[in-house]
Amino acid sequence: MTPEPHHPSRLDLREACIAEATAIIESRGIESLSLREVARRLGVSHQAPYRHFPSRDHVLAEVIRRSFAEFAAALNAPPKTDNIGADALAMGMAYVNFALSRPLQYRLIFGGALPDPERHGEMLQGARAAFGVLQTMLARIFTERGQPFDQEAINREALFIWSSLHGIVSLMRCDALDTLELSPETRNGFAMIALQRVGIALGVAPSLTPGPHSKEMER
């Protein structure tokens, strides 16, 4: 067992590439990710990453795959209580918080600039996981209401929730908003208002104090 066998360890470079690529994407966005810079930062030749990935898009797909998984985990992170309305709201806020605290990662997932999903199917397995989190939550809501199990109805609700949340966070990060001369209250309180409306549309009572903007959104 040599102390420094030239190649530090078998899979280190692969992991290091992914880590470095993630760092670059998080700090400067997806379009300025270059495998050559990854290699440069790691102190290896510009071709070394190609020993572990067939192409740049495969690196990207792997980063995206992990981002999806992190996202699904974040949705599931809030501890569950016996108040289904509170749990649903907590999940909504977890969604919003993920999107706002990791904007470039969120855009990576939902920005629509994915490498051809035909060729990178495994990339989207995390998407299924995230959707599953939603479905589970809705199944719980349905059950507690005494409604019969109806997968189609659950899927419809899940799509509605997903689209609402995505719309909310997209708008909050939208450059165009800056040019609209909105009052700070309107801008900052918007997510909370929208979340409450989604809750109303779903029939889960938003158990919030009726204060004007009871709890300011972070950031």
Partner DNA sequence: TACATGAGTTGACACTGTCTACAAAGCTAT
Partner DNA sequence: ATAGCTTTGTAGACAGTGTCAACTCATGTA
The reply to whether 166 sits near a copy of itself by the rule CB under 8 A is yes
Instruction: Give the chain's length.
Output: 219
Binder of residue 57, out of a copy of itself, DNA, none (CB less than 5 to 8 A by kind): DNA
Question: Residue 94 CB, nearest distance to a copy of itself (Å)?
Answer: 17
Q: Which does 142 bind (CB under 5 to 8 A by kind): a copy of itself, DNA, none?
A: none
Instruction: Determine the residue type at 41.
Output: R
Strand, coil or helix: what is 76? helix
41 binds DNA (CB under 7 A): no
| Residue 58, CA distances (Å) to 17, 54, 55, 118, 211 in order | 11, 6, 5, 12, 49
Contact status, residue 42 vs residue 20, Cβ threshold 8 Å: yes
Between 14 and 187, name the residue whose CB sits nearer to DNA: 14
Helix, strand, coil % in the chain, rounded to nearest 5: 70, 0, 30
Among 136, 167, 207, 218, binds a copy of itself (CB under 8 A): 167
Q: Min. distance of Cβ 195 from a copy of itself in angstroms?
A: 11
CB of 133: closest distance to a copy of itself in angstroms?
13
Query: What is the distance between the alpha carbons of residues 154 and 120, in angstroms, rounded to a whole number?
Result: 28
188 binds a copy of itself (CB under 8 A): no
Which residues between 20 and 39 bind DNA (CB under 7 A)?
Answer: 33-37, 39
Q: Of 80-109, which residues contact a copy of itself (CB under 8 A)?
A: 107
Instruction: Residue 126: name the closest of 88, 54, 74, 55 by CA.
Output: 74
Kindly state the smallest distance separating residue 149's Cβ from DNA, in Å. Answer: 46
Closest CA to 73 of 136, 130, 127: 130
Q: Provide DSSP, 33-73.
A: --HHHHHHHHTS-TTGGGGT-SSHHHHHHHHHHHHHHHHHH
Footprint on this chain of DNA (rule: CB under 7 A): 2, 5-8, 10-13, 33-37, 39-40, 44-48, 50-52, 55-57
Footprint on this chain of a copy of itself (rule: CB under 8 A): 29, 31, 107, 110-114, 117, 121, 124-125, 127-128, 131, 152, 155-156, 159-160, 162-168, 170-171, 173-176, 178-180, 182-183, 185-186, 189-190, 193-194, 197, 200-201
